[in-house]
Amino acid sequence: SQQGEEDPQALSIQEGENATMNCSYKTSINNLQWYRQNSGRGLVHLILIRSNEREKHSGRLRVTLDTSKKSSSLLITASRAADTASYFCATGEGGSEKLVFGKGTKLTVNP
Amino acid sequence: DAGVIQSPRHEVTEMGQEVTLRCKPISGHDYLFWYRQTMMRGLELLIYFNNNVPIDDSGMPEDRFSAKMPNASFSTLKIQPSEPRDSAVYFCASSLASGGPYNEQFFGPGTRLTVL
């Protein structure tokens, strides 16, 4: 069953704008990860944030985590057409390597 | 490294036939995961292995599905008999546990299965 739920389901922006995607989850987690999937391809890991962290940066990506609200956000700054893809959050629980994925946000960046 | 390798990339079969999907994880990775992706249900974990041993198969939909990992460099997911509702993209992923807790997973390109 889905743990994370991304919002919005679809997002269309112009190149150069920022894109923000949100993820909400239900149970306690020990880490949350964001993945990108280009059309017809496998998922690619973007960033991991642990439950004791509040914010993390990687290049043009910024991830925040609010465990009290059980939510996370992914911000892509200065978006490019190449950022067009689906973005998934995945949550890890307990001592398991298992991840539970949301259904994703489909981002379209128009040139 | 070539990354996670899956074969075939596309499979079209008829209902009732046996289907075998194959995966070669990244060399040295300890964990191997099989996922299924559909529009309706999203990405679902079917089963995962640690050091070739199945750890959690609670996501395997029914007895028609079976998975094996005979060695560290090869895994199969078998569906027998196949049904049209099994049509989906099946992904294999691997991860390196010794990289620390909560590790990223590396995904293969997927096998698109169509059951007619």
Q: What is the mean pLDDT of each run of 10 residues along chain B (116 residues)?
A: 92 97 95 95 94 94 94 97 97 81 87 98
Q: Rounded CA gap, B10 and B19, in Å?
A: 11
Q: Is the pLDDT of residue A16 over 70?
A: yes
- Report the mean per-residue pLDDT for chain A: 92
Nearest C-alpha in B relative to A42:
B109
**A98 in reach of chain B (CB within 8 A):** yes
Give the best residue of A34, A99, A101 to mutate against chain B (max B CB count within 10 A): A99
Cis ω on the peptide bond leading into residue A8 (within 30° of 0)? yes
**B50 in reach of chain A (CB within 8 A):** yes
Structure confidence by residue, pLDDT tens digits, A68-104:
999 999 999 999 999 999 999 999 876 678 888 999 9
For residue A48, the tally of other CB atoms under 10 A from its CB is: 19
**B31 in reach of chain A (CB within 8 A):** yes
Cis ω on the peptide bond leading into residue B109 (within 30° of 0)? no
**A52 in reach of chain B (CB within 8 A):** no
